[in-house]
Amino acid sequence: MKVFFCKVDGGNFGDDMNEWFWDDLFPGHSEIAPDTTLFGIGSILWRQNFVDNGKVIVMGSGSGYGVVPSELPKGTEIGFVRGPRTAQLLGLSPEHAITDPAAMVSTFDRFQDFNTSGEIVFIPHVGTAKLPLNWERVAARAGVAYVSPADDSEHVILKLARAKLVLAESLHGAIIADAFRVPFVPVCISPTFNTHKWQDWAESLDMDIEFEEFLAGLKQTRKRLVQIKKTLLGVKPSAPRDEASGTRVAQVVTQEEKAQGRKWIARLAPAIEVMLVRDLRRAAMFPGFLSGDKILRTRQEQITARVNEIRDRLAA
């Protein structure tokens, strides 16, 4: 099988870990079922990805972007999905929702021998990390350690595993922290923050999480300005998310809108960095969230059993 995952320009550790992750969890996967594509870690369950990859077996992927098909294409097999929201969108029974496979990293031999740093670590979403802001300086002024989501995946995982608290806008920053029993604080910086995929994962571990809002006043001001502009230009509200062949679970942001946002941030960078320092200091005072030990172990056992079942069947 070949492994399909999202490849981000410049790198994103949560996606990039697919390059070695399945060798540890599913030894020999590359030598069996050559006509099948394994959908790995990531929010990749949108319609076009199924169309492009033919016969697919889903191993813990989730929804979050694009149009989630209301009916799975012929030839698709579900091993398991990330969470109950993904299962519901795909019309699957609840037992198909286990959790994100990245929860298994704490069981791998390569991550069994390390010392804790005692640091409070901050890791933004990969898109947020690309904004024209000096994240290293912001984190240093807030008294926390900055981890770039674009760094080498194993390096990022170790930084998170060694921490005493993780401030995460990156979903997989939180997933890795939780796997290593490090409390995490979900932080929302980007206006396009994807709560759907966070709640999908959190509900798979029976967690009720809350998000710490960053740049709240600035976002409200910009939102009002955008609404005024749309009203003056006669722009109608966006179409409903439900489509004839599926559901769109995240807002669509055009390249032009992204470019305008970056220009706006670049003009206000000094003031934004001051606000981010304040927000990081506030977030660092929270105790953080953590799933229960028992439910995490149960989910890890369920993933191991499902992977072994599929490997034995395909190998036979």
**Domains identified in the chain, total number:** 2
Q: Specify the pLDDT at position 222.
A: 62
| Residues 272 and 265: beta-carbon distance below 8 Å | yes
Residue 221 has pLDDT above 50, yes or no: yes
Mean predicted confidence (pLDDT) in 214-225: 77
Q: How far apart are CA 147 and CA 285, in angstroms?
A: 19
- 276 and 137 share one domain: yes
User: How many whole angstroms separate alpha carbon 316 and alpha carbon 309?
Assistant: 11
Beta bridge partners of 59: 80
Q: Is the pLDDT of residue 237 over 60?
A: no
Let me know whether 271 and 299 are in one domain: no
Same domain, 122 and 180: yes
Q: Is the pLDDT score of 229 beyond 60?
A: no
Position 2 scores a pLDDT of: 96
More confident residue, 160 or 261: 160
Same domain, 311 and 282: no
- CA dist 43 to 14, 224, 242, 244, Å? 10, 30, 18, 21
pLDDT value for 239: 47
Instruction: Indicate if the pLDDT at residue 249 is higher than 90.
Output: no
pLDDT of residue 256: 85
Residues 89 and 128 in one domain: no
Distance CA 245, CA 297 (A): 37
In degrees and rounded to multiples of 5, residue 207 shows phi and psi of -105, 140
- Torsion 92-96-98-102 (CA) sign: negative
Residues 141, 216 within the same domain? yes
Q: What is the pLDDT of residue 234?
A: 62
pLDDT at 242: 53
Q: What is the pLDDT of residue 231?
A: 60
pLDDT of residue 257: 82
Tokens of 137: 């300086």
pLDDT at 153 over 70: yes
Q: What is the mean pLDDT of residues 90-114?
A: 96
* Bridge pairing between strands 76-80 and 120-123: unpaired
pLDDT at 212: 97
| Owner of token pair 């809108």 | 257
pLDDT confidence of residue 70: 84
Q: What domain range is 205 assigned to?
A: 109-291
- Express each pLDDT in 126-138 by its tens digit: 999 999 999 999 9
Q: What is the CA radius of gyration of the chain?
A: 20
Q: What pLDDT, on a 0 to 100 scale, did the predictor assign at position 252? A: 79
Say yes or no: 116 and 150 in one domain.
yes
Please enumerate in sequence order all residues whose Cβ is within 8 A of that of 251, keeping only pairs 6 or more positions apart, or say none: 192, 238
**What confidence score (pLDDT) does residue 240 get?**
42
Q: Which pLDDT value is given to residue 225? A: 60
Confidence band for 123, pLDDT divided at 50, 70 and 90: very high
Write down the pLDDT at residue 230. 55
The DSSP secondary structure of 155-194, one letter per residue, reads HHHHHHHH-SEEEESSHHHHHHHHHTT--EEEEE-STT--
Instruction: Note the pLDDT of residue 246.
Output: 84
The Cα 163–Cα 123 span in angstroms is 12
174 and 40 together in one domain: no
166-180, 184-198, 199-213, 258-272: segment of lowest average pLDDT? 258-272
227 membership: H or E segment, kind and range: helix 216-233
Reported confidence tier of residue 105, pLDDT bands at 50, 70, 90:
very high
| 93 pLDDT above the threshold of 80 | yes
Q: Are residues 87 and 147 in the same domain?
A: no
In angstroms, rounded to a whole number, what is the distance separating the alpha carbons of residues 92 and 257?
35
* DSSP string for residues in 82-109: S-HHHHHHTT--GGGB---GGGGGGGSG
Residues 88 and 168 occupy one common structural domain = no
Same domain (yes/no): 235, 113: yes
pLDDT at 181 over 80: yes
> Cβ distance 130 to 12 under 8 Å?
no
How do residues 38-91 score in pLDDT, each as one tens digit?
A: 999 999 999 999 999 989 999 999 999 999 998 899 989 999 999 999 999 999
Residue 59 phi/psi, 5-degree rounding, is -125, 70
Shared-domain flag, residues 43 and 122? no
pLDDT level of residue 32 (50, 70, 90 thresholds): very high
